[in-house]
Structures are given as C-alpha cells and as structure tokens.
Amino acid sequence: MFTPAITGTGVFTPSQTITNAELVAAFNAYADKTNAENAKAIAAGEMEPLAHSSEEFILKASGIEQRYVMDKSGVLNPEVMHPLLRQRGDDEPSIMAEMALDAAKKALAQAGKTVADVDTVICAASNMERAYPALAIEIQDLLGIKGFAFDMNVACSSATFGIQAAADMVRSGSIRSALVVNPEICSGHLEWRDRDCHFIFGDVATATLIERSEDATGAYFEILSTRCATSFSNNIRNNNGYLRRSRPDGVEDRRDMQFMQNGRKVFKEVLPMVSQHIAEHMEAEGVSNTDLKRLWLHQANKTMNDFIGKKVLGRTPEAGEQPNILQDYANTSSAGSIIAFSKYSDDLSAGDLGLICSFGAGYSVGSVILRRVS
Ligand code: COA
C-alpha cells in the first residue's frame, strides 16, 4: 500500500466578470421587456409579471459579489440571456478541455512534475459538453499522457469523489499518479431568466495532482482519509439529457432543461447532512475539532458555510480558518472547494490538519482529511 498525497493544484479563471450590478441591470431589462411583450396576458391575469432582481438581496442571501464567466455578452443581452460560445470544429480542442488544460499545467508546475509523471486523468464535473468521447480522454491526449482517462459526474461533489477514486488507485498501487480536473461552465446550465437563481453560478476550472507521497518533490498534503456519501433528492435537478428529442415537447425551451432548485429545502436538508458527515468522518479518523487548522468548504452560500464551520469547529471560525472564495467566483460547482484549497493552503505548517468538503445535487457529500508535510 502507498500513501496518496496532493502535490499540486491549479486554477483556471476566465477573463470576464459579471458584477451583481451588471447582472441585475440585465435581468431587470429582460423582465421589463418580457412584461411589455405580455402586457395583455398580464392584464387579463393569465400571467404573473416578472419581478425585478436586487443587488441587496443577492449579497444578503448568498454572499456573492461577482462571478467569472466564459462569455458575458450573451448573458447580459436581454434578447439572449445565456452565454454565446463559438462552435468549435471536431478537430479543435473543446472548450472544457482547454480550461482543464490550463489548470492541469498549473498543478503540474506547482508539483514540479511533467506529463510523463502522470498515469491517469479523471475529468470530474457537473456537466460534460458532449456525450462522448470522454472529455478526460481528450485532455489526456492534449497533455500527451499515457495510461487511461475517464469522466465522472457527481454534480458539486465531483471533485472530492474524483480525489477519492484517484487516492484509492494510488493507495492500491494500480497507478502512480492522477490528475483530477474540474472544468465547470456553470453559465451554460444556469437559467439566467429566473431571478431566484440567476446570481448563483460562475465558470472556472481546477486541477489536483494526486501522487504517491514518496514521489513528492516539495511540500505536499498527505491524504489521510476520504469519505463519500449520497442520498437521492429531486431538490436540485436538471432534466436535460440525450432522450430530449424523443419526448413530445423535448426540444422546446423548457424551464427544466436548465438548473432548478428548491433553495430553501436544499438549505434545510443539506446542512445537517454535511455537518453530520464531517463529524462522523473526523471521529472515525480520530481527528477532533481542535486538531483541524483549516476547512475548505464547497462554495455555494456564505450563510451555509458559516453554519457548517461553526458546527464542525464548535465555535465561530477565526478569520482565515474557513476561507470563502464565493464572493468573487460565486458557486462554481465541483471546483469551489478546490479553489479555496488552492488559494489558502500554502501557509499551513508541517503536521497541520485540514479538511476539504464538497456537497450538492444528488444529494452528495465528499470529504478529504489532509495533513501538511513539508
Ligand atoms: N432579487 C430580489 N428578491 C428575490 C430574488 C432576487 N434575485 N430572488 C428571490 N427573491 C425573493 C423571493 O421571491 C422571495 O420572496 P417572497 O418571500 O415574497 O416569496 C424572497 O426573496 C426570499 O426568497 P428565497 O428563495 O426564500 O431566498 P433564500 O433566503 O432561501 O435564498 C438561495 C435563496 C438560493 C440563496 C438559498 O436558498 C440557498 O443558497 N440555498 C442553498 C442553495 C445551494 O446550495 N444550492 C446548491 C446548488 S449546487
């Protein structure tokens, strides 16, 4: 048996941002336009007018101040209200692969490794831009990695489930190392025309290199333990899929072809599930809350993270103990906890313990307990 370790991480951040002010102005213009176009139906009581969105609500309800996106022009155009991405030819790198590639190269550079040191690529994300061939195999090819690659989707928990799969393979000796990449174009499945959720998501890609600890060339994080759990729920759901055209109104512009959630229920049900999951994982590993130096949580909602941080540590976390990046990135699905880890882990000292935890649709929750080794 070998000891798996995280030796490098990387983050690809898109160049375009949308502030809450820009987002709300575009949504309100769309709402006014829609209401004007449907004035008769609204007057006849056949349709509810769309209400305006508000910057104050968004900040208070979520903690989000802005989000990075691959295209803001379409999202902010009241005639479009979704990203506009160039159709790439089949012989060009796909957009998710390109994002993942950037993050993967940064992870390799941080670990002081080259593609020759990597055996496996796992593309773990909430959405794949095509059915097949697997994105991971394209990323493997673009990087020039031998071995094998595969895609996996556990929505917002994809990264931690991917880390568990990679760590288990490294531990057993079937591979020496794996790159787990999480390219997330959440702007593509977000319903920007729905004020209840239009502020939630952003785009990003992250990468994590998992190797045998004996192969690390610099400081690294030993993976002490991973734990994954799932429990079926319809409270976060998207009905888009390959059977779409086979259904009577399947190709219509249907609301359920984009992200849908019952936010209040998610809040109420996921919080106890996650808090209990982390507590049981820590107990099983003999890790007490006074041992934990840092929590890198899924980045969906500030209030949720404050609650979980307090529950896990048994007190209000000190500044920096439970870093949030959601104010800048919004919810980037599987990538959120890895962005937080990548940006806020270098300062830990040898022996310090930390925990990555992601959670979301499924429901799903995954946690990784790490120890810093210098
Ligand atoms: N601007 C202004 N008002 C808004 C609004 C907007 N953009 N969106 C909703 N509102 C209104 C609602 O219509 C509602 O009005 P009502 O009380 O008159 O019915 C009110 O604000 C409260 O809405 P609600 O949806 O109950 O807000 P909330 O406090 O639950 O916050 C979320 C909404 C989505 C931020 C919150 O539920 C959440 O984060 N849930 C967990 C989400 C999550 O983690 N999802 C995982 C995704 S992978």
Chain segment 39-50, per-residue pLDDT in tens: 999 999 999 999
User: CA 148, CA 311: separation in Å to the nearest integer?
Assistant: 40
**Is any ligand 1 atom within 6 A of the Cβ of residue 236?**
yes
pLDDT tens-digit readout, 155-174: 999 999 999 999 999 999 99
Task: Give me the residue label for tokens 């229920």.
Answer: 265
Question: How far is residue 260 CA from its own chain's centroid?
Answer: 16
Kindly give, in sequence order, each residue whose CB lies less than 8 Å from that of residue 296, ignoring residues fewer than 6 positions away.
Answer: 323, 337, 338, 340, 341, 344, 345, 354, 355, 356, 357
Distance, CA of 111 to CA of 220 (rounded, Å) = 8
Distance between Cα 263 and ligand 1 center (Å): 6
Ligand 1 atom closest to the CA of 301, numbered from 1: 39
On the question of a cis peptide bond just before residue 133, with omega within 30 degrees of 0, the verdict is yes
**Rounded Cα distance, 204 and 70, in Å:** 8
Residue 300: predicted pLDDT: 96
- Whole-angstrom distance, CA of residue 356 vs CA of residue 296: 5
Over residues 318-336, the pLDDT tens digits come to 989 999 999 999 999 999 9
Helix, strand, coil % over all residues of the chain, rounded to 5: 35, 25, 40
CA 278-334-166 angle, to 5 degrees, is 75
Confidence (pLDDT) at 29: 98
Q: Which atom of ligand 1 is nearest to the CA of 266?
A: 41
Mean confidence (pLDDT) of the chain:
97
Q: How far is the CA of 301 from the centre of ligand 1 (A)?
A: 11
Structure tokens at 285: 């590993």
Residue nearest to atom 26 of ligand 1 (CA): 264
- Which atom in ligand 1 lies closest to the alpha carbon of residue 156? 48
Ligand 1 pocket test, candidate residues 48, 55, 264, 365, most atoms within 8 A of CB: 264
Does residue 54 have its Cβ closer than 6 Å to ligand 1? yes
Show which residues are catalytic.
Answer: 156
Distance 287 CA to ligand 1 centre (A): 35
Query: Which tokens in the block code for residue 323?
Result: 């870093």
| pLDDT at residue 244 is higher than 90 | yes
pLDDT tens-digit series, residues 75-114: 999 999 999 999 999 999 999 999 999 999 999 999 999 9
Both tokens of residue 144?
């020039």
Cα gap 276→367, rounded to integer Å: 12
Cβ–Cβ < 8 Å for 185, 12: no
- To test the pocket of ligand 1, the residue of 57, 62, 192 to mutate (highest count of ligand atoms within 8 Å of its CB) is 57
Question: Quick one: average pLDDT of 344-354?
Answer: 97
What's the CA gap between 337 and 355, in Å, rounded? 10
| Structure tokens given for 135 | 């994105």
Q: What is the distance between the alpha carbons of residues 213 and 265, in angstroms, rounded to a whole number?
A: 41
The percent of residues above 90 in pLDDT, for the chain, comes to 99
The CA 42 to ligand 1 mean position distance, Å, reads 24
Q: What is the pTM of this model?
A: 0.97
Q: How far is it, in rounded angstroms, from Cα 24 to Cα 21?
A: 5
- Indicate the residue type of 148: F
Is the CB of 360 within 6 Å of ligand 1? yes
Q: Name which of 254, 229, 236, 232 is nearest 200 in CA terms.
A: 236
Q: Is the pLDDT of residue 202 over 90?
A: yes
- Sign for the pseudo-dihedral over CA of 54, 59, 61, 64: positive
Q: What is the pLDDT of residue 228?
A: 98
Q: What is the pLDDT of residue 319?
A: 86
Confidence of residue 217 (pLDDT cuts 50, 70, 90): very high
Encode pLDDT of 270-316 as tens digits: 999 999 999 999 999 999 999 999 999 999 999 999 999 999 999 99
pLDDT attached to residue 270: 96
Rounded average pLDDT over 7-11: 98
- What is the average pLDDT across 114-131? 97
